C-alpha cells in the first residue's frame, strides 16, 4: 500500500486554504494535510473584517471553513500554534509549542503584516494596525473607553477602519499624506466624490499631512505632524500598507526579496517548498488583492494534483468594493500618462462617475463610482487586450450611441456578453462560468448558488450579478425561487414551521423527507434549526436529537482553542455561598483546572477541563449547568438592590433569582441574557439585555430587545408593572412569543427590530393571550431536566466522552 504524501501548510488564511480546497477537489486521496495557523481561529474572510468592525457581520459569519470542515476532510489543524522553524534538508517544521511535523510538500502562506511607521511613539499603548480579528477586538474595546480616533492612511484599509470606528461611536479623523484618497484605486475626480460622501457620514480628513510622531505618556494622546500642527487622539490605527511576512522563510535560507521569490509554478528556492498569497513575490510583484492570490492557489493545486496547467503569469488586477456604502470599481492602468487617452463622464446629481483609459485602441484601465454594474465586462476587455476601436462611447456610456439611454442596454445583455472566466465574486474568486454551471446543475436561488459556489457569501456586493445570472440561465421560471433557511431547501422558517404543524411531522429526518430536502442529511445550519422548531412545537412528544446539536451543546461545555472545555455552573442571580465556593475550588484543584474566572454574567468559569473529565466534574460540582454553551437562558445579572444598597427601591436579587429559576433550561432561538436592576441607576445594565427589569418606585419597568455584543442595541420599554408576579407573567409571555415566532439563530434584538415593538405589544397586551403563552412555556419547562443528570446516571452516555482529536466541530 502506497504511503500518502504529506502536505504541510503554514498559514490558515485565504490563499493557503483556497489551495488546499482545490487539492481536495482534484486529488482527494493523494495527501495527508497538516495546517498550522498562528491565530486561534478557523479560516476566515479577512476582507470582511471591516463588516465585523462596522457591526454588519458577526465573527462567526466571516468563517470560510468551519472546524467541522477540517474534520470532515481529515485535515490536522493546529490553531494558535505558529511554525517557528523550517528545516528544508530534513523536510520538517517545528511549531511554537514544540510540535514537529515532516513534509513532502511545504506550502508557505504566511501572508503579510501591517506596516507600522518608524516614528517616535509608534510603540505606545493605543497604537495598532488593522489586519486581523485581534485588531478588531482591540478597536472595539478601545471604543468603550475612548472617544477620539486617528486613522493614518487614506487607502481602502484605512477608510474601512475609519467607518468601523464611526459605527462604534468614535470621533474619527483620517490622516493621509497624499492630496486625495485611495490614489491606488481611484483617480482624483472619483476620489473627491468619495471624500464628499464620507464627510456626510461623519468622517474628517487631514490630507497632505505627514505624521512625524505620536505624543503622549504611556498611552497615545495624539499625532504631531511635520508642519508642527497636532491632532488629539487616544486611539491611533495605522493603515499605511502591508509587508510580506518573510522572516520564517528568510531564516530557513529561502530566496527572498520583498516577498518569498517564486517561479511560475509558485516554487520557492528549495525542493518541495512553495509559496502563495501575499507572502509570495512573482516576477518582482507581491500581490495584496484576493483574486491574484486565488489564481496562484489554483495553479499550485493543479501542479500538486498532477493535472495539466499553464504556469502563473501574473495578474491584471481589479478592485470592486463598497467603501462605507459607496460602490467603487477600478481596474488596470487608470491614470493619465503619455501615449494614453481618457474618456470620462460625471453625473453629480446621480453621484456617478465613469472613466476609461485607452492605448493603441485597447482598453487598459477603468474607474467606476456609484454604479459598478459594468465593472466585470470592462475588466474582461482589459484582460483580453482586444481592439475596442469604434466602441469607445459604448464602453464609456454603458450602452451604444443612438439608444435611448443606459437602460436600453439590458442587464441581461451585459451578463450574457461576459466571458465565462470573468470573476463575479471577488471575495471568493468565483467566475461567471462556475455560477452558470451551478444554475444549470439545479441551483434555483441565490442561497443555493451561495451554498454551492460561495458566490455572494461574503460582502454580498455581487448578489445582484448572481441573481441576474440565475434569471438569465435558469431553465424555467425562477420568480418563485427564494432563499430558504439554508441551501438545502428553498423553504423559509414560517413555511417549515407551518408544514410541521399541518402535517404533524415529528422528527428531523421526517421533515427533510416530506419537505423534499435537496441534501438528505441536511447541513450544520438546518439540522439545529429543525431540532429547535420540533422541540418548540411538540414539547411533550419530541425527543431532542443530540446529533443535530453543535459540539458545545452535545458536551454541555464550551470547546476552547486547545481542545479543552470551559465549564460554567449556574449561580442564581450571581449569589453564591461559602460551601458552594469550596466545592468549586475542590473540583478545580482535583482536576487541575488551569484557570477559574469570574464571567461578565456574575458566575465562575472553570477553563481548561479535559473532555474525559467532564462527567466527573459535573457530578462532583453537583450544580445545575449554566448553559453557557447553548441557545438558552444564559444568565440573570443582578445588582444588590434594596437588600444592601441605599439607592435600591426593590429587591433585585430576589427578583433575579426568581426569574432565573423560573426559566433555566429553556431552549430559545438564540442565546438569552436577562438582568434586574434595583433602581433607575441601572447598575446591572438591564437596558442592553434581551430582557431587562428595572425597579422604580412602586413597580418595575420591563425592557426588551437589547444587545451588548458586537452591535450594541438599547432595549425598548415594553411595559411598566406593579408586582413581581406580573414581571414573571410578562417575561414568560415575551419569551414564549419570541420562541414561537423568531428565526433560528435570531437574537431578540434582531427579532424586535424585524417585527417591531408595536406588533409584540399588540400580542402581549391582551391578558388572555399573554397567559396562554405563559402556560405554554410552563408546560415546556415542566418537561425539562438539567442535561447533566442524564449523563451522570447513564453509563453508556458517559462512554462517549473520549479524548478529542485535533479538530472540533465549530459552534454557533
**Pairing between β-strand 691-696 and β-strand 672-677 as defined by DSSP bridges:** parallel
| Rg of the chain in Å (alpha carbons) | 29
Four-residue CA torsion sign, 500, 504, 509, 511: negative
Cα 260 from Cα 247, distance rounded (Å): 9
In this structure, are residues 602 and 637 in contact, taking their beta carbons and an 8 Å threshold?
A: yes
Q: Nearest 5°: phi and psi at 33?
A: -115, 130
Cα 359 from Cα 669, distance rounded (Å): 58
**HSE of 292 in the Cβ direction (CA atoms, 13 Å)?**
23
Selection from 13, 79, 97 nearest residue 40 by Cα: 79
Selection from 165, 191, 186, 141 nearest residue 50 by Cα: 165
In this structure, are residues 735 and 668 in contact, taking their beta carbons and an 8 Å threshold?
A: yes
Per the listing, cell 438528505 goes with: 520
Please return the burial class of 233, using the count of CB atoms within 10 Å of its CB with bins 0-12, 13-18 and 19+: buried
Q: How far is CA 174 from CA 135, 144, 154, 201, 323, in A?
A: 18, 20, 6, 13, 14
In this structure, are residues 355 and 342 in contact, taking their beta carbons and an 8 Å threshold?
A: yes
Cα 570 from Cα 626, distance rounded (Å): 4
Distance, CA of 412 to chain centre:
32
Helix (H) or strand (E) holding 554: helix 551-555
Please return the burial class of 189, using the count of CB atoms within 10 Å of its CB with bins 0-12, 13-18 and 19+: middle
Cα 781 from Cα 785, distance rounded (Å): 8
Neighbours of 758 (CB within 10 A): 8
Outline where DSSP puts E strands in 109-203.
Answer: 112-114, 127-129, 148-152, 171-176
Cα 249 from Cα 13, distance rounded (Å): 17
Report residue 70 as a C-alpha cell. 477540517
Give the burial string for 617-642 (b: 16+ CB within 10 Å, else e).
bbebbebbbbbbbbbbbbbbbbbbbb
What is the full DSSP assignment across 273-286?
Answer: EEE-GGGEEETTB-
Report residue 67 as a C-alpha cell. 472546524
Per the listing, cell 452558470 goes with: 436
Q: Is 443 annotated as a binding residue?
A: no
Distance, CA of 633 to chain centre:
24
Secondary structure letter of residue 569 according to DSSP: B
Q: Nearest 5°: phi and psi at 445?
A: -155, 165
**HSE of 76 in the Cβ direction (CA atoms, 13 Å)?**
14
Q: How far is CA 772 from CA 537, 732, 768, 778, in A?
A: 14, 10, 6, 10
In this structure, are residues 317 and 330 in contact, taking their beta carbons and an 8 Å threshold?
A: no
Q: Is 427 annotated as a binding residue?
A: no
Alpha helices in 27-65 (DSSP H): 49-53
Beta bridge partners of 63: 44
Cα 770 from Cα 231, distance rounded (Å): 56
549-555 contacts, C-beta under 8 A, 24 or more apart: 550/524, 550/809, 550/810, 550/811, 550/812, 551/808, 551/809, 551/810, 551/811, 552/629, 552/630, 552/811, 553/629, 553/630, 553/631, 553/811, 555/611, 555/614, 555/629, 555/801
Distance, CA of 810 to chain centre:
13
Q: Is 719 annotated as a binding residue?
A: no
Cα 763 from Cα 780, distance rounded (Å): 20
Binding residues: 639, 645, 679, 683
Binding residues for siroheme: 683
Binding residues for [4Fe-4S] cluster: 639, 645, 679, 683
Amino acid at each position: 500500500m502506497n504511503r500518502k504524501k504529506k502536505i504541510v501548510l503554514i498559514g490558515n488564511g485565504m490563499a493557503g486554504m483556497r489551495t488546499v480546497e482545490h487539492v481536495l477537489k482534484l486529488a482527494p486521496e493523494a495527501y495527508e494535510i497538516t495546517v498550522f495557523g498562528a491565530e486561534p481561529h478557523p479560516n476566515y474572510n479577512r476582507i470582511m473584517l471591516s463588516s465585523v468592525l462596522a457591526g454588519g457581520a458577526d465573527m462567526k459569519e466571516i468563517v470560510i471553513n468551519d472546524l467541522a470542515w477540517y474534520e470532515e476532510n481529515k485535515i490536522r489543524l493546529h490553531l494558535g500554534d505558529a511554525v517557528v522553524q523550517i528545516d528544508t534538508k530534513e523536510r520538517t517544521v517545528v511549531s511554537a509549542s514544540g510540535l514537529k511535523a515532516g513534509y513532502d510538500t511545504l506550502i508557505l502562506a504566511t501572508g503579510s503584516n501591517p506596516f507600522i511607521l518608524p516614528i517616535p511613539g509608534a510603540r505606545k499603548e493605543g497604537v495598532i494596525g488593522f489586519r486581523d480579528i485581534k485588531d478588531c477586538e482591540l478597536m472595539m474595546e478601545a471604543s468603550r473607553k475612548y472617544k477620539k480616533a486617528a486613522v493614518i492612511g487614506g487607502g481602502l484599509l484605512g477608510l474601512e477602519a475609519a467607518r468601523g470606528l464611526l459605527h462604534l461611536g468614535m470621533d474619527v479623523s483620517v490622516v493621509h499624506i497624499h492630496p486625495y484618497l485611495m490614489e491606488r484605486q481611484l483617480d482624483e475626480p472619483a476620489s473627491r466624490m468619495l471624500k464628499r460622501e464620507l464627510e456626510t457620514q461623519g468622517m474628517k480628513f487631514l490630507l497632505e499631512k505627514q505624521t512625524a510622531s505620536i505624543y503622549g505618556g504611556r498611552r497615545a494622546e495624539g499625532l504631531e505632524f511635520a508642519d508642527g500642527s497636532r491632532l488629539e487622539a487616544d486611539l491611533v490605527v495605522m493603515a499605511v500598507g502591508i509587508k510580506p511576512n518573510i522572516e520564517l522563510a528568510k531564516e530557513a535560507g529561502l530566496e527572498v526579496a520583498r516577498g518569498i521569490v517564486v517561479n511560475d509554478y509558485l516554487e520557492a528556492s528549495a525542493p518541495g517548498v512553495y509559496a502563495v498569497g501575499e507572502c509570495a513575490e512573482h516576477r518582482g510583484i507581491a500581490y495584496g488583492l484576493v483574486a491574484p492570490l486565488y489564481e496562484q492557489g489554483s495553479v499550485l493545486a493543479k501542479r500538486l494534483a498532477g493535472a495539466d496547467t499553464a504556469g502563473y503569469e501574473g495578474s491584471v488586477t481589479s478592485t470592486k468594493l463598497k467603501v462605507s456604502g459607496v460602490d467603487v470599481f477600478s481596474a488596470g492602468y487608470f491614470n493619465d500618462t503619455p501615449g494614453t487617452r481618457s474618456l470620462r463622464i460625471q453625473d453629480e446629481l446621480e453621484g456617478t462617475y465613469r472613466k476609461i483609459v485607452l492605448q493603441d485602441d485597447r482598453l487598459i484601465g477603468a474607474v467606476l463610482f456609484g454604479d459598478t454594474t459594468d465593472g466585470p465586462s470592462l475588466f474582461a476587455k482589459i484582460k483580453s487586450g482586444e481592439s475596442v476601436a469604434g466602441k469607445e462611447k459604448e464602453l464609456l456610456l454603458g450602452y451604444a450611441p443612438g439608444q435611448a439611454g443606459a437602460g436600453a442596454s439590458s442587464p441581461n445583455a451585459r451578463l450574457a456578453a461576459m466571458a465565462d472566466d470573468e470573476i463575479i465574486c471577488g471575495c471568493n474568486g468565483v467566475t461567471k462560468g462556475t455560477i452558470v454551471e451551478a444554475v444549470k446543475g439545479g441551483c434555483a436561488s441565490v442561497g443555493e448558488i451561495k451554498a454551492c459556489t460561495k458566490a455572494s457569501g461574503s460582502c454580498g456586493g455581487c448578489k445582484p450579478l448572481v441573481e441576474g445570472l440565475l434569471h438569465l440561465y435558469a431553465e424555467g421560471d425562477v420568480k418563485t425561487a427564494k432563499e430558504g433557511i439554508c441551501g438545502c431547501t428553498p423553504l423559509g422558517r414560517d413555511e417549515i414551521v407551518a408544514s410541521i404543524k399541518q402535517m404533524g411531522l415529528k422528527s428531523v429526518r421526517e421533515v427533510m423527507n416530506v419537505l423534499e430536502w435537496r441534501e438528505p442529511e441536511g447541513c450544520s445550519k438546518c439540522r439545529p434549526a429543525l431540532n429547535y422548531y420540533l422541540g418548540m412545537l411538540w414539547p411533550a412528544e419530541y425527543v431532542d436529537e443530540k446529533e443535530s446539536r453543535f459540539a458545545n451543546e452535545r458536551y454541555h461545555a464550551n470547546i476552547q482553542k486547545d481542545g479543552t472545555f470551559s465549564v460554567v455552573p449556574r449561580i442564581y442571580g450571581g449569589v453564591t455561598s461559602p460551601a458552594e465556593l469550596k466545592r468549586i475550588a475542590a473540583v478545580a484543584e482535583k482536576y487541575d483546572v488551569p484557570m477559574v474566572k469570574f464571567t461578565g454574567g456574575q458566575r465562575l468559569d472553570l477553563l481548561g477541563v479535559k473532555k474525559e473529565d467532564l462527567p466527573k466534574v459535573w457530578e462532583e460540582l453537583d450544580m445545575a449547568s449554566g448553559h453557557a454553551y447553548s441557545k438558552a437562558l444564559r444568565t440573570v445579572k443582578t445588582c444588590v438592590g434594596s437588600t444592601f444598597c441605599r439607592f435600591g427601591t426593590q429587591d433585585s436579587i430576589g427578583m433575579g433569582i426568581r426569574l432565573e429559576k423560573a426559566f433555566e433550561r429553556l431552549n430559545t432561538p438564540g442565546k438569552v441574557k436577562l438582568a434586574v436592576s434595583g433602581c433607575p441607576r441601572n447598575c446591572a445594565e438591564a437596558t442592553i439585555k434581551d430582557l431587562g427589569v428595572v425597579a422604580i418606585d412602586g413597580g418595575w419597568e420591563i425592557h426588551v430587545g437589547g444587545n451588548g455584543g458586537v452591535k450594541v442595541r438599547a432595549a425598548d420599554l415594553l411595559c411598566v408593572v406593579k408586582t413581581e408576579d406580573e414581571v414573571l407573567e410578562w417575561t414568560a409571555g415575551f419569551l414564549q412569543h419570541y420562541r414561537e415566532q423568531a428565526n433560528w439563530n435570531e437574537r431578540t434584538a434582531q427579532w424586535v427590530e424585524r417585527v417591531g415593538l408595536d406588533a409584540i405589544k399588540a400580542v402581549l397586551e391582551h391578558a388572555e393571550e399573554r397567559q396562554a403563552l405563559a402556560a405554554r412555556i410552563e408546560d415546556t419547562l415542566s418537561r425539562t431536566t438539567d442535561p447533566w443528570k442524564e449523563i451522570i446516571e447513564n453509563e453508556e452516555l458517559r462512554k462517549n466522552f473520549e479524548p478529542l482529536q485535533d479538530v472540533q466541530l465549530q459552534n454557533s
